[in-house]
Amino acid sequence: MENTKLDLDNYRSLLKEYLLTKNETALYQAEQFSKLSMQHNISPEEIIHVHIEALKELYPDLTQEVNDSLNFLLEAMISYGLAYQEFQTLREKQSELQSEISVAASMQQTLLSTVKPEIKGLDIGAISVPANQMSGDYYHFVTDKEDDTLGIAIADVIGKGIPAALAMSMIKYSMDSFPENQRNPSAILENLNRVVERNVDPSMFITMFYGLYNPGNETFSYASAGHEPGFYYHGDQDEFEEIEARGLVLGATDQATYRQFERKIKKNDCIILLTDGVTECRIGDRFIERDEILQVIKKYIQLPAQEAVEQVYKHFERLQEFQFRDDFTLIIIRKEV
Amino acid sequence: MDFKPCVNIRKEWDIVGARQLGREKAKEIGFGTVDQARIATAISELARNIYLYAGTGKICFEIVDDFEHKGLQIIAVDEGPGIRDISQVMEDGYTTSGGLGAGLPGVKRLMDHFDIISEVGEGTEIRASKWVR
Ligand SMILES: Nc1ncnc2c1ncn2[C@@H]1O[C@H](COP(=O)(O)OP(=O)(O)O)[C@@H](O)[C@H]1O
Ligand SMILES: [Mg+2]
């Protein structure tokens, strides 16, 4: 009450000054007044009311028509006032949601965090950047102290945002719960497929590539559940070869089987794994070609693996004008000896 | 209890009648122009809901004057289909007029006290009061 009275006095003197001088200063002050009123959640009909009251004090002989017409205006403004209040509430809700999402995103980062292992003879680089706050991409390294093998999982939920992120957390926990000795790529995918089929909405698909490197026989075995094909880089010829491995996406049917492939890895060769956030980069309305991606990777492949993935990321970040449309994950593993 | 003045809502124009009676009561009790306009808007929303969703019903007014408050209570009663999920209806943005701030959440904002009792298949009673300051 105290405040509105103050405001009325203030408004009256501003109005009086303007009517006398018609100068810009008073109009500027009116602007300030309007901002201040918004800050105090004063709705438009109240301002009109203040205007009517001020006018009546300045001109006690105001004609009935003018008075009535101003009351008519006041009625006409009621809905604007309501819409403004609703907008305020929704804005508060929006910022609550925003901060909830930030908390969820940082929880997700902790949950999904994976340690990039130091393995003798291998140079490993990995980068994963979400398009929005929460990521639907996931990669994970699994090491085994006894036999020095390295398991690599990379997955992508078709879809983005919070639902994708929730599905990803589920994948991570299922993988953690599989028995230690089960490290066979096709068996892992078959198990995960059943988990996804049972627990995830049928409209959501997850693609995944799982690889296991055994330094004992220098062999990389792998299987894919509909995942974006990665590349094998031949160091001696400076050439790429697509890693072929077909398989159904996870969760499509509960009986899916995944064929396992194997290949020897030579010195200076690289395994490059990625998600479609990399291959579906867009320049304007055009998707880039896989060849163009390879050209970019080639440009940086001689760098240490971590620097290489970061440089490739930066390249595409700029190309896409710093606005990725999909989560971006890229892993490069080089056999050094 | 006092005799309650009521307006039956059967056709769209009855909304105007309810507003008119509500405004007269509000003036009588001593509400200022801004509050009169708000009360009239709340009546419109409630009366229009009766007209749209229940077909027929009535809007009644009760003058409140006890130790605590002095003001006006609007009582909207119908024997229509009732409201199944009241919490949902009271969420901002649920109304078909979404984004315009109107609807039942708007009525709640316009008034100082608001209450709904509704049974599916039996009807709805909404009470909304405003106090003179
Ligand atoms: N008197 C009533 N009887 C039955 N249903 C009602 C009644 N009033 C409101 N509703 C239900 O509540 C919903 C929300 O009402 P309201 O907030 O006024 O928004 P709107 O009328 O724009 O949809 C309506 O769509 C209707 O389904
Ligand atoms: Mg309505």
Q: CB of A97 within 8 Å of any CB in chain B?
A: no
- On whether any CB of chain B is under 8 Å from the CB of A87, the answer is yes
In angstroms, rounded to a whole number, what is the distance separating the alpha carbons of residues A72 and B73? 24
A287 has which bridge partners? Answer: A282
* Residue A79 to residue B110, Cβ atoms within 8 A: no
Give whole-number Cα distances, A264 to A126, A244, A311, in Å.
22, 14, 28
Residues A327, A265 contacting (CB under 8 angstroms): no
Q: What is the mean pLDDT of residues A239-251?
A: 92
Provide the whole-model pTM: 0.71
Confidence of residue A118 (pLDDT cuts 50, 70, 90): confident
Q: How many domains does chain B have?
A: 1
Residues A73, A198: one domain?
no
Range A209-238 average pLDDT? 94
User: Is position A99 within any domain?
Assistant: no
For residue B55, report the phi and psi dihedrals to the nearest 5 degrees: 85, -65
pLDDT recorded at residue A2: 42
- Tell me the nearest-neighbour CA distance from A94 into chain B, angstroms: 12
User: Same domain, yes or no, for A78 and A212?
Assistant: no
d(CA A276, CA A309) in angstroms, rounded, equals: 15
Taking only Cα atoms into account, the Rg of chain A, rounded to an integer number of angstroms, comes to 31
- B99 with A49: Cβ contact below 8 A: no
| CATH assignment of the domain containing B38 | 3.30.565.10
Q: Of A164, A56, A125, which Cα lies nearest the Cα of A272?
A: A125
Q: Select the more confidently predicted residue: A201 or A257.
A: A257
**A48 and A145 inside one domain:** no
d(CA A64, CA A68): 6
Q: What is the pLDDT of residues A61-101, one digit of tens each?
A: 999 999 999 999 999 999 999 998 888 888 999 999 999 98
Residue A1 confidence (pLDDT): 39
Angle at A169 between CA A168 and CA A175, to 5 degrees: 90
- Whether residues A188 and A330 fall in one domain: yes
Q: 10 Å Cβ neighbour count for A264? A: 10
CATH of the domain at A32: 1.10.1240.30
In Å, how far are A3, A209, A252 from A328, measured between CA atoms? 53, 15, 24
Q: Are residues A89 and A138 in the same domain?
A: no
List, as ranges, residues with CB under 5 A of the ion ligand 2: B 49, 103
A82, B102: Cβ pair inside 8 Å? yes
Interface test with B, best of A78, A85, A90 (most B CBs within 10 A): A78
Q: Give the pLDDT score at B98.
A: 64
Cα(B132)–Cα(B71) distance, rounded to whole angstroms?
5
Evaluate if residue A4 carries a pLDDT over 70. Answer: no
pLDDT at residue number B85 = 93
Ligand nearest to the CA of B87: 1
pLDDT, residue B61, reads 98
Domain that holds residue A325: 112-335
B18 within some domain: yes
pLDDT mean across residues, chain B: 93
Q: Which of A109, A159, A115 is nearest to A133 (CA)?
A: A109
Asked whether residue A15 falls in the same domain as residue A116, the answer is: no
Mutate to test the interface with A, among B16, B20, B31, B34 (most CBs of A within 10 A): B34
Same domain flag for A236 and A200: yes
Per the CB < 8 Å rule, is B37 touching A89?
A: no
A141 in a structural domain: yes
**In 3-state terms, what secondary structure has residue A332?**
strand
Average pLDDT, rounded, for chain A: 88
Asked if the C-beta of B133 comes within 8 angstroms of chain A's C-beta atoms, the answer is: yes
Query: Position of tokens 């708007």?
Result: B106
| Number of other residues whose CB lies within 10 A of the CB of residue A198 | 9
In whole angstroms, give the CA distance from residue A231 to residue A298: 11
Is A219 a member of any domain?
Answer: yes
Q: What is the pLDDT of residues A119-176, one digit of tens each?
A: 889 999 999 988 888 888 889 998 887 778 899 999 998 876 788 888 888 888 888 8
- Name which of A49, A87, A89 is nearest B34 (Cβ-Cβ): A49
Residue A106 in any domain: the answer is no
pLDDT value of residue B99: 64
- The nearest CA of chain B is from the CA of A23 a distance in Å of 30
Residues A223 and A281 in one domain: yes
- Is A167 found in the same domain as A59? no
pLDDT of residue A286: 73
| One domain for residues A272 and A309 | yes
Domain that holds residue B22: 6-131
Which one-letter DSSP state was computed for residue B30? T
- The Cα–Cα gap between B30 and B130 comes to 12
What is chain B's alpha carbon radius of gyration, rounded to the nearest angstrom?
Answer: 14
The answer to whether residue B1 is domain-embedded is: no
Cβ neighbours of B110 in A, within 8 Å: 82
d(CA A293, CA A316): 9
8 Å CB contact of A45 and B41:
no
Residues of chain B in contact with residue A90, where contact means CB-CB under 8 angstroms, are: 92-93
**What residues of chain B, 82 to 121, have a C-beta less than 8 Å from chain A?**
92-93, 99-102, 105-106, 109-110
* Residues 6+ positions from B22 with CB-CB distance below 8 Å: B39, B40, B43, B59, B61, B72, B74
Q: Encode pLDDT of A282-294 as tens digits.
A: 777 777 778 888 9
Give the model confidence (pLDDT) of B31-61 as tens digits. 999 999 999 999 999 999 999 999 999 999 9
Residue A143 amino acid letter: T
Cα(A247)–Cα(A237) distance, rounded to whole angstroms? 29
Q: CB distance B37–A45 less than 8 Å?
A: yes
Total of domains in chain A: 2
Asked if A34 and A131 sit in the same domain, the reply is no
Residues forming beta bridges with residue A74, ordered by sequence position: none
Residue A258, number of CB atoms within 10 A of its CB? 26
